[in-house]
Structure 1
Amino acid sequence: MAAGKSFCCQASLLILLSFVFLGLVSFPVEAAIKKYQFDIQVKNVSRLCHAKPIVTVNGRYPGPTIYAREGDRVLVNVTNHAQYNLSIHWHGLKQYRNGWADGPAYITQCPIQTGGSYTYDFNITGQRGTLWWHAHILWLRATVYGAIVIMPKVGTPFPFPQPAREFEVILGEWWNNDVEEIEKQGNQMGLPPNMSDAHTINGKPGPLFPCSEKHTYAIEVEKGKTYLLRIINAALNDELFFAIAGHNFTVVEVDAVYTKPFSTKSILIGPGQTTNVLVHANNVPSRYFMATRTFMDAPIPVDNKTATAILQYKGIPNTVIPSLPHQLPASNDSAFALSYNKKLKSLNTVQYPANVPLKVDRNLFFTIGLDKNPCPTCVNGTRLLASLNNISFVMPQTALLQAHYFDIKGVFKTDFPDQPLRPFNYTGAPLTANLGTSTGTRISKVAFNSTVEIVVQDTNLLTVESHPFHLHGYNFFVVGTGVGNFDPSKDPANYNLVDPIERNTIGVPTGGWVAIRFRADNPGVWFFHCHLELHTGWGLKTAFVVEDGPGEDQTVLPPPKDLPAC
């Protein structure tokens, strides 16, 4: 039975019980330095009747949790003992002026070579809540991931009822075979790789899968108490529903930003997103399934098998058969998805304001495209690729941030178009014609402290599909969203500029659009990409070069001495 954490002694116990912590084991009033050692190792792990070697951190799957407080400095020394070159991304941390610690391979750093080490050194400034970390190269984040829990400053309470305990719940995917080989085979064939064999909750698929009796995550609760679940979607390619039989959720935070609380029977969470919910143990004491399954409202094959864990009331024997959550939406329930996302709003209080940019300096319109390009060596003679504004991004061999900082010529071009070069009826009849997708390492240059609006538009090139987009180095405000084609003459009039949700990852609705705004006050090179690993690999990504500001504290910091070389 997995144990939760008591808030009264959480600061020391969480660290001591989770994994090796090098340094202080308490949270003093002043900011502390937290030191961690991540050893990238290959370990044989068994799930679904299959044992296979997987890449892990400290031999754990999922990996260890980073615990810190707002204001702390965190140092994570990563030593790579695996056969793959690898880097770690601290998803959602803003890394002000410090892209060297952001982690995406060939964007802000070259990967850590086999046998090499690199220390990620960053400050946690102005953020508190649930984030996560993961490998950011190839498909290695299938098994290399873990939670980041940031407590508020000492003496600062949560803006919601104090829970008795908290639990981290990480949703993931499992492949019976080597995920890197599966990806490689798909690329060689020019086809999507095989879908996952199971979903997981904290690395375990639950008792509904064969040979998984021992692979079930469980938490124990007491009647009448309230609990905080920190939920993370670490799946590579699936948006997921999550629910607990017989219990409602109160959503209080997404992507480490407090929300206006609202009640819901289940949540929708895209790859890369985090959601904190309160659960009140107010049902008849028994055992209840927690369950997750895919949301997909487009005609695309997915792993639609349901993974389960167990919420068990104290004193109830393990022989009681849990009940499944009937409130879990159908896999194609678009109405629930749209309704749920509309309920998400920023808390917008004096202490936690929603500083929405009201004036926009730069308007960008990005179209999502799926396409096929000729591939003489592929089985079908074509290879699938993905694009923004009809440009499929090519990863460089030198990290973009290094090329920017040291002015290395020829690595990238700053001519990414603000608008699609060939406008069309984006969500009309399905289009299978190749619009002449080009390839290249093309990114956008953005003036320091300028305000930016990006409208991301799904298209019906090959098929419509929902796409979760993640912006590194920033949070943004989701000021508008809709189904169909974005209308610049009408849709902005319906924007929410008062309390829109603030986050770092947002789903573009299937056959629809989303509008986000942010202030470009963090200099450096910042990745912007679909968080479906399949589409990222096909080129559905770009980056922003945010120029230095005029002040000494508005320029990119010098690179660390141990920055990996390509």
Structure 2
Amino acid sequence: MYTMFERMKSCVFASCVLLLLGVNSPIAQVSAQVVDNTNSSVTAVEPVQNTTVYWDLGWVEDINPDGLYSRRVVGVNGSWPIPGVTAYYGAYLILTVKNSLPTIASVHAHGMYQNGTSFYDGAYGINTCGIPPGETFTFHMPLQQTGTYWIHGHNNGLSVDGFRTSFVILDPPANNTLKGGSQWQDDLGYDEEIIINLEDWYHTEHCTLIDFFLGIYNPTGKEPIPESALINHGVDSVIQFEYGKTYLLRVIAMSALARFNMYIDGHDMYVVEVDGVRVQMPEEPVSSLFLSTAQRYAVIVRAKNESESSACNYYLHADLDLDMFDNPPDTLDAFPRATVQYPDGQQVCEESAESPVGNVLMEDDFTPLVVQEFRPADISIALDVTFELFDDGVNHGTFNQTVYKTYEVIPYYSAISTPDEQAMDSLTYGPHGTVYPLDRMQTVEVIITNNDAGNHPFHLHGQHFQVITLVEGGTPEPFTATSKNPANPARRDTVTVPSEGSAVIHFYTDNPGAWLFHCHIEWHLEAGLAVVFVVDPTGMQASPPPEQHTKNCLTNGFQTEGNAAGVTTANEMSTYPDTSEYDLVEPWPVGFTTPESIGALVGCIASCFLGLGVVIFVNLKL
């Protein structure tokens, strides 16, 4: 049994663990229908081609994207940054990954529904056991949605060490469009797409950082602070604009910790997609976008006409939210920027001295194109967020004062290998109540109360959820149709719950699988801030995993049948061995984890040693 996503191996010679996942099954080319995100009628070009990608995952030496420090990173096919992936709705992404790392690797396509293929989701210890070192795994992902997503490692901080890239799913090309693309492109009137990747960057490898963060010498839980922030994998990136064109910018926050405020001098932005959900274009532009880690936006930006330019270039800013960092160093450049370059641009114009104070998009301030009305909840789950010092000496992140742990059998295999009655019993998945079995076709309400002083971006695998209420600095509001738009609430897959605030989200259990719900700050996930929703175990059993998926679990030391402890006798599924291996660490007294309390303890210990020294000194003089 391990604490949440515990390191498979300790950091040895500054080498850590990395990620991947996959599976094999023959797939034919698929004829596609355009996703129902517009009212337009489109005849797709058929057949839509599958996208085939091969990645040899391994360490790449001497990478120095911020110009300050050269280090090794996790890349693919011997290079970094990792090329972005583009595919089409209605087809498949056939991704083959060879794990050339010395440790287990897991891969997650962030935001994918994986309906019918939850074993490809890639959440290590939840619905996959990862790819063993030296092994190759192929997954065939059905592309059931359009939008802006990303692919990243999902164990042992692989994404922190560089394993991350953009993933865009387009409408299939249509044969009746003006611009040769999709109807959506025609409707929005844009000419080209540009991806904007926002990243934080660490000079120290993840394994060293996590050993300190989850160690006894960090009782207040201070998160590792990055040395730099990158835009499109560098600090001097250039984004090419042409006069008079309209662009769709796909903005992706790929950070481990950082939150960004993104804006472009001299240019308006119109939001048309949020976390892969197409939204109604607002009449008024936004001045800036706040993006927590894992969040994405697509915005329409109209380039200047030549007569407006005066040979100017402009800055695209991605200011860091310094409230996310505990005592950031003076050496951190908190205001990274890229240059928007025009054909005859000679100088930078309209440089902003500070972030704009205009129309800033809020987390739930948009209307999806496809209507999904508010539905009353069939079941309500309350999750209280706290960080506390536990009796193992570590400051853990918790829901309801419980640290998530993984066991001998991951939730996915417990769900598909046990009888229906046991599969719907939370004790089948462990004795601590961090896994919630859910019946199919229910509306689930999750009430998140953030008792921590920091912002937390929470991500749900396998679906988009409705943001019903979002409260800053207060308890959740009444849980009725009180959202900004009850007829069609905002939907996304990652929502930032503010400091000392709360949120209420709804999701519908029409997608069988073991779905992780967690804080997407890497350090908080590894500290245990997560739960699992096991949706429709019977439906999960209807789509068995590929043989290689099961083989990988056995190779990596997991079992694949029975309850969390591997017990397969039906009437013993809710029992666990009487051993400390299954005991939870317990929190220390309330309030003891504050810096003042820790300081008082240190001062007390220092006073004791000082007093002892005085006694010894006096006795020596006598």
Residues 1:562 and 2:554 aligned together: no
Percent identical across equivalent pairs?
A: 23
Cα deviation 1:421-460 (Å, max 9, x = unaligned): xxxxxxxxxxxxxxxxx9947210100111111121111x
What is the aligned counterpart of 1:370 among 387, 412, 427?
387
Helix, strand or coil for the counterpart of 2:444? strand
Cα deviation for residue 240 of structure 1 reads: 1.1
* CA 1:322–1:135: 2 relative to 1, 3 Å: farther
Residues 1:276 and 2:298 aligned together: yes
The letter of the residue matching 1:498 is: A
Cα deviation for residue 293 of structure 1 reads: 2.0
Residues 1:497 and 2:481 aligned together: no
Cα deviation for residue 177 of structure 1 reads: 1.9
Paired residues of 2:424 and 2:437 also in contact (CA < 8 A): no
Q: How many angstroms apart in 1 are the aligned matches of 2:225 and 2:201? A: 9
Q: How many angstroms apart in 2 are the aligned matches of 1:407 and 1:549? A: 10
What is the aligned counterpart of 1:394 among 405, 416, 421?
405
My pick for the range that moved more, 366-375 or 189-198, is: 189-198
Match of residue 112 from structure 1 = 131
Cα deviation 1:391-425 (Å, max 9, x = unaligned): 111133443212322239999971599xxxxxxxx
Cα deviation for residue 278 of structure 1 reads: 1.1
Q: How many angstroms apart in 1 are the aligned matches of 2:273 and 2:153? A: 24
Cα deviation for residue 148 of structure 1 reads: 1.0
* CA 1:246–1:495: 2 relative to 1, 3 Å: closer
* CA 1:196–1:99: 2 relative to 1, 3 Å: same
Q: How many angstroms apart in 2 are the aligned matches of 1:123 and 1:312? A: 37
| Counterparts of residues 247-326 of structure 1 (less than 5 Å) | 247-262=267-282, 263-282=285-304, 284=309, 285-297=311-323, 300-302=326-328, 305-317=334-346, 320-321=347-348, 324-326=351-353
Paired residues of 1:443 and 1:543 also in contact (CA < 8 A): yes
Cα deviation for residue 548 of structure 1 reads: 4.0
Q: How many angstroms apart in 1 are the aligned matches of 2:478 and 2:88? A: 44
Cα deviation for residue 356 of structure 1 reads: 3.0
* CA 1:413–1:85: 2 relative to 1, 3 Å: farther
My pick for the range that moved more, 492-501 or 513-522, is: 492-501
What is the aligned counterpart of 1:414 among 417, 421, 426?
426
Match of residue 591 from structure 2 = none
Paired residues of 2:57 and 2:75 also in contact (CA < 8 A): yes
Match of residue 533 from structure 1 = 522
Match of residue 214 from structure 2 = 187
| Counterparts of residues 121-520 of structure 1 (less than 5 Å) | 121-125=140-144, 127-142=145-160, 143-155=162-174, 156-158=182-184, 160-188=187-215, 189-190=217-218, 191-204=221-234, 206=235, 216-262=236-282, 263-282=285-304, 284=309, 285-297=311-323, 300-302=326-328, 305-317=334-346, 320-321=347-348, 324-326=351-353, 328=355, 340-347=362-369, 353-375=370-392, 382-407=393-418, 414=426, 440=432, 442-459=434-451, 463-487=452-476, 489=478, 492-494=481-483, 496-520=485-509
* CA 1:322–1:77: 2 relative to 1, 3 Å: farther
- What is the TM-score of this pair, normalised by structure 1? 0.80
Cα deviation for residue 479 of structure 1 reads: 1.7
* CA 1:341–1:55: 2 relative to 1, 3 Å: same
Q: How many angstroms apart in 1 are the aligned matches of 2:509 and 2:424? A: 20
What 5-or-longer segments of structure 2 have no aligned partner?
1-27, 32-43, 175-181, 557-622
Paired residues of 2:473 and 2:498 also in contact (CA < 8 A): no
The letter of the residue matching 1:39 is: D
The letter of the residue matching 2:200 is: E
The letter of the residue matching 2:222 is: P
Match of residue 378 from structure 1 = none
Q: How many angstroms apart in 2 are the aligned matches of 1:354 and 1:271? A: 27
Q: How many angstroms apart in 2 are the aligned matches of 1:149 and 1:187? A: 34
The letter of the residue matching 1:414 is: S
Paired residues of 1:63 and 1:146 also in contact (CA < 8 A): yes
Q: How many angstroms apart in 1 are the aligned matches of 2:156 and 2:492? A: 25
* CA 1:98–1:374: 2 relative to 1, 3 Å: same
The letter of the residue matching 1:446 is: L
Residues 1:32 and 2:87 aligned together: no
The letter of the residue matching 2:238 is: A
* CA 1:179–1:457: 2 relative to 1, 3 Å: same
Match of residue 7 from structure 2 = none
- What is the TM-score of this pair, normalised by structure 2? 0.73
Higher helix share goes to which structure? 2
Q: How many angstroms apart in 1 are the aligned matches of 2:295 and 2:542? A: 27
Paired residues of 1:97 and 1:555 also in contact (CA < 8 A): no
Cα deviation for residue 139 of structure 1 reads: 1.5
My pick for the range that moved more, 54-63 or 307-316, is: 54-63
Match of residue 73 from structure 2 = 54
What 5-or-longer segments of structure 1 have no aligned partner?
1-22, 207-215, 348-352, 376-381, 418-437
Match of residue 421 from structure 1 = none
The letter of the residue matching 1:175 is: Y
Match of residue 79 from structure 1 = 98
Q: How many angstroms apart in 1 are the aligned matches of 2:159 and 2:408? A: 21
Cα deviation 1:340-382 (Å, max 9, x = unaligned): 33432212xxxxx22234132111221111111133xxxxxx3
Q: How many angstroms apart in 1 are the aligned matches of 2:128 and 2:298? A: 31
Paired residues of 2:94 and 2:138 also in contact (CA < 8 A): yes
Paired residues of 1:68 and 1:151 also in contact (CA < 8 A): yes
* CA 1:441–1:486: 2 relative to 1, 3 Å: closer
Q: How many angstroms apart in 2 are the aligned matches of 1:122 and 1:295? A: 35
Q: How many angstroms apart in 1 are the aligned matches of 2:127 and 2:105? A: 13
The letter of the residue matching 1:70 is: Y
What is the aligned counterpart of 2:87 among 51, 62, 68?
68
Paired residues of 2:202 and 2:227 also in contact (CA < 8 A): yes
* CA 1:400–1:325: 2 relative to 1, 3 Å: farther
* CA 1:455–1:506: 2 relative to 1, 3 Å: same
My pick for the range that moved more, 283-292 or 221-230, is: 283-292
Q: How many angstroms apart in 2 are the aligned matches of 1:497 and 1:529? A: 26
Cα deviation 1:165-200 (Å, max 9, x = unaligned): 111111111111222212223223334353100011
Paired residues of 2:247 and 2:301 also in contact (CA < 8 A): yes
Q: How many angstroms apart in 1 are the aligned matches of 2:531 and 2:468? A: 21
Helix, strand or coil for the counterpart of 2:103? coil
Q: Highest CA radius of gyration, 1 or 2?
A: 2
* CA 1:202–1:484: 2 relative to 1, 3 Å: same
Q: How many angstroms apart in 2 are the aligned matches of 1:144 and 1:316? A: 35
Match of residue 17 from structure 1 = none
Higher strand share goes to which structure? 1
Paired residues of 1:243 and 1:325 also in contact (CA < 8 A): no
